[in-house]
Amino acid sequence: MKYKVCVYAISKNEEKNVEEWVKSMSEADQIYVLDTGSTDNTVKLLKKLGVNVKIEIIDPWRFDVARNKSLDMVPKDIDICVCTDLDERFETGWRKELESIWNKNITRVSYNYNWSFDEYDKPATSFYINKIHSRNDYIWVNAVHEVLKNINNNEYQVISNNIVLNHYQDLTKNRTSYLKLLELSVKEDPFNDRNVHYLGREYMYYKKWNKSIDTLIKHLNLNTATWKDERCASMRYISRCYINLKRYNKAEMWLKKSIKEAPYLREPYFELGYLYYILNKYDLSKKYLLKCLKIKEKSKSYLNEFFCWDGSVEDILSICEFNLGNYKNSLKYAKMALKLKPNDERIKENIKKIKNFL
């Protein structure tokens, strides 16, 4: 069946992304962009390529307000809305796949999102996102890390593994506003477990170790904080803060808690193994890194960590085995690490060094 499909977005100073983004989104019937104050050629280029553009300054700035105003641009008779950012690209054929799975009962679709890529241009951090939705059933909420909220109590979501969106983040863009917006979000809704988790993580990024610990513990104590992957992440972040405070016993305690919380994830095993590694406890490091390698399936949540899958586990395990005098095992894991990091000169040198001991 043929559906009316529309892409909508917000933009600000995205001139270098416009052409490739429009090309990627051109499978849609219409494209709408709310520009929030570009001072470069973003608007001019979008209009030249046939995009429907409106300019509006959002003051005070909130992502949810901007998203909702961009959604307001979309005609009410559109069947399927697709929200993206200009630094994102769909892989070809996304619309055909979307129409093949959509029906009148569906309100939302989850699909593959490659948030970052490694030096070999392979997906590093990947997870499901769900910004494809029916036109009249949703609004955006939260000042930052905004999400879609169903307003008609009729959400029915499906997953497509054949729709892939790739993200090419501009690391030069200023994102310092995120902390204040997260603090505002938590002030507005102190019991929103997702936002409290994000705020604790943001404090960690800003090296506000004690604030981060207090906020993440608050997240864990919320009755609604039941998602084990996210609880595990809060515990891991608490541990990272304690490591930076050089309180290693506390860090160890929280990582052991994180393993109990989500024993099916690689991340807590790796971080505990890495803690023992930096403390030169190579036997304990080996124990947890081997447990880490036993987990073969990468989670599809945004909380998966690329360093658990990029050869770092094998690399550190090789060093541990070397320090324990197990040179054959050390060489085995070094070779495994090199397969995943073929351009890593340090690992190549390690292999040469290990061979001298065989």
Residue 13 and residue 71 in one domain: yes
Angle of helix 345-355 versus helix 312-323 axis, rounded to 10: 30
Provide the 8-state DSSP code for 202.
H
Pull the structure tokens for residue 317: 């395990």
pLDDT of residue 24: 98
Nearest to 168 by CA among 108, 124, 110: 124
Nearest to 87 by CA among 151, 3, 170, 160: 170
Nearest to 202 by CA among 212, 194, 193, 192: 212
In the numeric block, the tokens 């050390």 are attached to 330
Domain that holds residue 28: 5-167
The pLDDT-based confidence of 162 (bands split at 50, 70, 90) is very high
Q: Say if residue 171's pLDDT is above 90.
A: no
**Is residue 330 in some structural domain?**
no
Region of 81 (left: φ > 0; alpha: ψ -120 to 50; beta: rest) is beta
Residue 201 and residue 144 in one domain: no
Residue 112 and residue 240 in one domain: no
CA 149-229-176 angle, 5° bins: 65
Please, is 172 exposed, middle or buried when counting C-beta atoms within 10 Å of its C-beta (0-12, 13-18, 19+)? exposed
Angle of helix 312-323 versus helix 266-278 axis, rounded to 10: 40
Domain end point (choices 277, 304, 326): 277
119-123, 244-248, 265-269: least confident range = 119-123
The per-residue pLDDT for range 81-110, each reduced to its tens digit, is 999 999 999 999 999 999 999 999 999 999
CA distances from 264 to 209, 268, 302 (A): 27, 9, 15
pLDDT of residue 170: 79
Residue 81 and residue 160 in one domain: yes
Q: Say if residue 175's pLDDT is above 80.
A: no
Region of 101 (left: φ > 0; alpha: ψ -120 to 50; beta: rest) is alpha
Residue 14 and residue 162 in one domain: yes
CATH number at residue 142: 3.90.550.10
Q: Which amino acid is at 139?
A: I
**Tally of domains within the chain:** 2
Residue 36 and residue 156 in one domain: yes
Domain end point (choices 277, 300, 319): 277
Q: Say if residue 166's pLDDT is above 90.
A: yes
pLDDT of residue 121: 87
**3-class SS letters over 245-267:** CCCHHHHHHHHHHHHHHCCCCHH
Residue 125 and residue 32 in one domain: yes
- Evaluate whether 230 touches 197 at the Cβ level (below 8 Å): yes
pLDDT of residue 211: 98
Alpha helical stretches, state H, the chain: 18-25, 42-48, 63-72, 94-101, 177-188, 193-205, 209-221, 228-244, 248-261, 266-278, 282-294, 312-323, 327-340, 345-355
Region of 31 (left: φ > 0; alpha: ψ -120 to 50; beta: rest) is beta
**Is residue 53 in some structural domain?**
yes
Residue 30 and residue 136 in one domain: yes
Q: Which one is predicted more confidently, 15 or 175?
A: 15
Residue 137 and residue 266 in one domain: no
**Is residue 123 in some structural domain?**
yes
Q: Say if residue 147's pLDDT is above 80.
A: yes
pLDDT, average across residues 323-337: 98
**Is residue 136 in some structural domain?**
yes
Q: Say if residue 242's pLDDT is above 80.
A: yes
The per-residue pLDDT for range 38-79, each reduced to its tens digit, is 999 999 999 999 999 999 999 999 999 999 999 999 999 999
The percent of residues above 70 in pLDDT, for the chain, comes to 99
pLDDT of residue 1: 75
pLDDT, average across residues 229-245: 98
Quick check: helix, strand or coil at residue 55?
strand
The pLDDT-based confidence of 176 (bands split at 50, 70, 90) is confident
CATH number at residue 226: 1.25.40.10
The pLDDT-based confidence of 133 (bands split at 50, 70, 90) is very high
Instruction: Round the average pLDDT of the chain to a whole number and report it.
Output: 96
**Is residue 351 in some structural domain?**
no
Residue 121 and residue 216 in one domain: no
Domain end point (choices 167, 198, 228): 167
The per-residue pLDDT for range 114-126, each reduced to its tens digit, is 999 988 888 889 9
The pLDDT-based confidence of 156 (bands split at 50, 70, 90) is very high
60 prior amide bond cis, ω within 30: yes
CA distance 97 to 195: 32
Residue 34: alpha-carbon gap to chain centroid:
24
pLDDT, average across residues 347-357: 96
- Measured over the CA atoms of residue 281, residue 282, residue 287 and residue 290, the dihedral's sign is positive
Nearest to 204 by CA among 194, 219, 215: 215
The pLDDT-based confidence of 177 (bands split at 50, 70, 90) is confident
pLDDT of residue 63: 97
pLDDT of residue 118: 86
Residue 42 and residue 181 in one domain: no
pLDDT of residue 115: 94
Q: Which residues contact 133 (CB under 8 A, 6 or more apart)?
A: 80, 81, 83, 107, 108, 109, 148
CA distance 117 to 166: 9
Residue 206 and residue 242 in one domain: yes
Nearest to 179 by CA among 168, 195, 192, 167: 195
